[in-house]
Amino acid sequence: MAINRGSRKEPVLVRQLDKIGRRRVIVAAAIRLMVVLAIILSLFFLIPVDGFNADNPAGAWIRLGAVILVFLIALALQLRMILAAKVPQVRAAEALVETILMFVCLFALLYSSMSATDRSTFSEPLGKIDSLYFTTSTFATVGFGDITPTNQLARAIVSVQMIADLGALVLVAKVTFFAAGRRLGR
């Protein structure tokens, strides 16, 4: 017998849904994902990245702290949505994509800001697209070498991103799917 928790419905596995139900859940998830991705990318291009004081490297570390804080808050919100989802596995997959994109965009904003502060921070000045490209190639561990950090501060921040990339991917994947399993009672 299912426990009645007010208006909250018991979670189900995707495979427990009939064909129409599965299609409906996947289409709704795809639409939500596209909307959230559009919002994240719109915010990325709309947020100003005016330069900060180039003589004070603490500004970059403060921005890095802000990036990590925003990421952790977003992750916490994603977990709450997974725990409340009717089909938590699908919500976990959405959360994984959304959170990783947010992580990449936050670092790209940081690099754009550092480049605006000091145009020689990287091998070439980074605009928004350049910083997104650099962050993505670093995250994907491709590292084409066309854009490189040129000073100690930039190298340190990029090193933090490289380490955080691995941790973020494992953390987000593990935590989101753990939450989905917990919601399903496993």
Task: Give a yes or no: residue 3 inside a domain.
Answer: no
CA atoms within 13 A on the CB side of 56: 7
Residue 52 confidence (pLDDT) above 50: yes
Could you write out the three-class secondary structure of the chain? CCCCECCECCCCCHHHCCHHHHHHHHHHHHHHHHHHHHHHHHHHHHCCCCCCCCCCCHHHHHHHHHHHHHHHHHHHHHHHHHHHCCCHHHHHHHHHHHHHHHHHHHHHHHHHHHHHHCCCCECCCCCHHHHHHHHHHHHCCCCCCCCCECCHHHHHHHHHHHHHHHHHHHHHHHHHHHHHHHHCCC
Residue 1 confidence (pLDDT) above 50: no
Task: Give a yes or no: residue 2 inside a domain.
Answer: no
What CATH code is carried by the domain that includes residue 60? 1.10.287.70
The answer to whether the CB of 143 falls within 8 A of the CB of 79 is: no
Task: Give a yes or no: residue 43 inside a domain.
Answer: yes
Comparing 11-15, 131-135, 161-165, the range with the smallest average pLDDT is: 11-15
Mean pLDDT of 58-66: 74
Structural domain boundaries, residue 145: 14-183
pTM over 0.75: yes
Task: Give a yes or no: residue 5 inside a domain.
Answer: no
State what percent of residues in the chain have pLDDT above 90. Answer: 26
pLDDT score of 4:
42
pLDDT score of 68:
81
23 or 65, which is more confident? 23
pLDDT score of 113:
86
Number of domains within the chain = 1
The dihedral built from the CA positions of residue 174, 177, 178 and 179, taken in this order, carries a sign that is: positive
The answer to whether the CB of 180 falls within 8 A of the CB of 92 is: yes
Task: Give a yes or no: residue 141 inside a domain.
Answer: yes
> Which of the given ranges, 53-67, 134-148, 163-177, has the highest pLDDT on average?
134-148
Residue 38 confidence (pLDDT) above 70: yes
Mean pLDDT of 5-9: 54
Task: Give a yes or no: residue 8 inside a domain.
Answer: no
Mean pLDDT of 133-159: 89
Mean pLDDT of 30-54: 85
Mean pLDDT of 133-160: 89
67 or 135, which is more confident? 135
Residue 3 confidence (pLDDT) above 60: no
pLDDT score of 96:
84
pLDDT score of 53:
62
Task: Give a yes or no: residue 7 inside a domain.
Answer: no
User: CA 34 → CA 25, 59, 97, 131, 154, distances in Å?
Assistant: 14, 33, 10, 22, 32
Average pLDDT, the chain: 83
The angle formed by the CA atoms of residues 183, 95 and 109, to the nearest 5 degrees, is: 150
Task: Give a yes or no: residue 9 inside a domain.
Answer: no
